[in-house]
């Protein structure tokens, strides 16, 4: 069901499904696809606590869905999905709803480098900026010149790169609604850039379950608060996938959700899976890693749920109290 938009308004749909890369889970109580910043500001007037969905690549929506308004910035024809050059020296302005995986090969074709190392990372640009998406070959923060956003009270703001607290899988942008960014790409040889893009993609296909239903890495790589014998000293960042593997979790299943045999930090879903299966499996993985190593894993996948107890499984202490080594 939808409510038709009057001139200057935005169409609101009720009880709308939400698409995620897990291909499971519930929908939104209300849903809108604003076409520009003025319509997004109107959505904020309707619900200042609204949620934003991009490609749904790093998201799990609980089976019962979520309350409130969800907005999609990546709809066809939306100003948020546009990508256009700003100058002739590699500066590009891209909307928050633009698909990173469409931008990368197009940039290579035009001889613009800097993001080809992000091949295989599923995200809209807005989501990539908020989480500072990246991997072994770089992160989105490497090319950011400035970010445009709306505050929750509808004010338009622009942040220069030096004003943004980028770090490992964080940016400090989570309290804002990112609308666009300017990226400083580097002119280069299209053939060489394309080859590098294909090399990064091939590596991802060899090491990750790219053809299966998943949302990428489920957990952030933890930084150790104490020495972990045989793994790394205190202060070192270690692979969450390695810890999950060593804790014996590869192949572990709950319902239709399974820890990938190819890469332990990926959870894949069968057609009959429920969001509850993924949440329970993530909770069990956190418990086993903590029991084995005393390390608390922090989710990288974002989970939307009406149930506080479900979120507590993912964000609470797996040992039932304070402490831990990460």
CATH 3.30.465.10 in the chain: give the residue spans. 79-192
pLDDT tier, 323 (very low <50, low <70, confident <90, very high otherwise): very low
| Burial zone of 53 (CB within 10 Å; 0-12 exposed, 13-18 middle, 19+ buried) | buried
Predicted local distance difference test score (pLDDT) of residue 7: 46
CATH 3.90.78.10 in the chain: give the residue spans. 210-326
Kindly list the catalytic residues.
Answer: 169, 217, 300
Mean residue pLDDT of the chain comes to 92
Residues facing residue 170 across a β-bridge: 167
In terms of CATH architecture, what is 79-192? 2-Layer Sandwich (3.30)
Residues facing residue 267 across a β-bridge: 259
Per-residue pLDDT, averaged over 48-52, amounts to 96
Residues facing residue 113 across a β-bridge: 186
In terms of CATH architecture, what is 210-326? Alpha-Beta Complex (3.90)
- Whether 258 and 280 have beta carbons less than 8 Å apart is answered as no
Give tens-digit pLDDT for 53-95.
Answer: 988 889 999 999 999 999 999 888 899 999 999 998 999 999 9
CATH 3.30.43.10 in the chain: give the residue spans. 2-72
CB hemisphere CA count around 44 (13 angstroms): 17
Q: How far apart are CA 299 and CA 214, in angstroms?
A: 14
Q: How far is CA 139 from CA 130, 147, 184, 187, in A?
A: 12, 15, 13, 18
Residues facing residue 217 across a β-bridge: 266
- Per cent of the chain over pLDDT 90 is 84
**CATH numeric code, 2-72:** 3.30.43.10
Per-residue pLDDT, averaged over 237-249, amounts to 96
Residues 6 or more apart whose Cβ sits within 8 Å of residue 320: none
pTM to 2 decimals?
A: 0.90
How wide is the angle at C-alpha 18 spanned by C-alphas 172 and 265, nearest 5°? Answer: 60
Q: Classify 138 as helix, strand or coil.
A: strand
H-helix or E-strand spanning residue 14? strand 12-16
Look at residue 322 and tell me whether its pLDDT is greater than 50: no
- Whether 168 and 237 have beta carbons less than 8 Å apart is answered as yes
């Amino acid at each position: 069901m939808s409510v038709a938009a009057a001139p200057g308004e935005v169409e609101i749909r009720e009880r709308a499904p939400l698409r995620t890369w897990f291909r499971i889970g519930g929908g939104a109580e209300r849903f809108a696809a604003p076409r520009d910043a003025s319509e997004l500001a109107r959505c904020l007037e309707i619900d200042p606590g609204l949620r934003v969905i991009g490609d749904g690549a790093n998201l799990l929506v609980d089976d019962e869905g979520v309350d409130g308004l969800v907005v999609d910035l990546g709809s066809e024809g939306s100003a948020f999905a546009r990508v256009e050059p700003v100058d002739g020296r590699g500066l590009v302005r891209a909307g928050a709803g633009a698909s990173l995986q469409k931008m990368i090969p197009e940039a290579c074709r035009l001889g613009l480098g800097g993001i080809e190392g992000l091949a295989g990372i599923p995200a809209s640009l807005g989501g990539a900026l908020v989480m500072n998406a990246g991997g072994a070959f770089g992160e989105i923060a490497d090319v950011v010149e400035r970010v445009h956003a709306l505050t929750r009270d509808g004010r338009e703001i622009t942040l220069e790169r030096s004003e943004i607290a980028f770090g490992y899988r964080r940016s400090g942008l989570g309290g804002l609604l990112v609308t666009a960014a300017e990226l400083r790409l580097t002119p280069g040889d299209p053939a060489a850039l394309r080859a590098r893009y294909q090399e990064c993609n091939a590596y991802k296909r060899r090491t990750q379950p790219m053809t299966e239903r998943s949302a990428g890495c489920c957990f952030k790589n933890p930084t150790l608060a104490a020495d972990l014998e045989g793994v790394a000293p205190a202060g070192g960042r270690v692979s969450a996938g390695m810890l999950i593997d060593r804790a014996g979790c590869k192949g572990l299943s709950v319902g239709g959700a399974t820890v990938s045999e190819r890469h332990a930090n990926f959870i894949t879903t069968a057609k009959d899976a429920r969001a509850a299966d993924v949440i329970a499996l993530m909770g069990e993985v956190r418990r086993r890693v903590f029991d084995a190593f005393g390390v608390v894993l922090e989710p990288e996948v974002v989970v939307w749920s009406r149930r506080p107890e479900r979120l507590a499984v993912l964000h609470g202490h797996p040992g039932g109290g304070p402490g831990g080594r990460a």
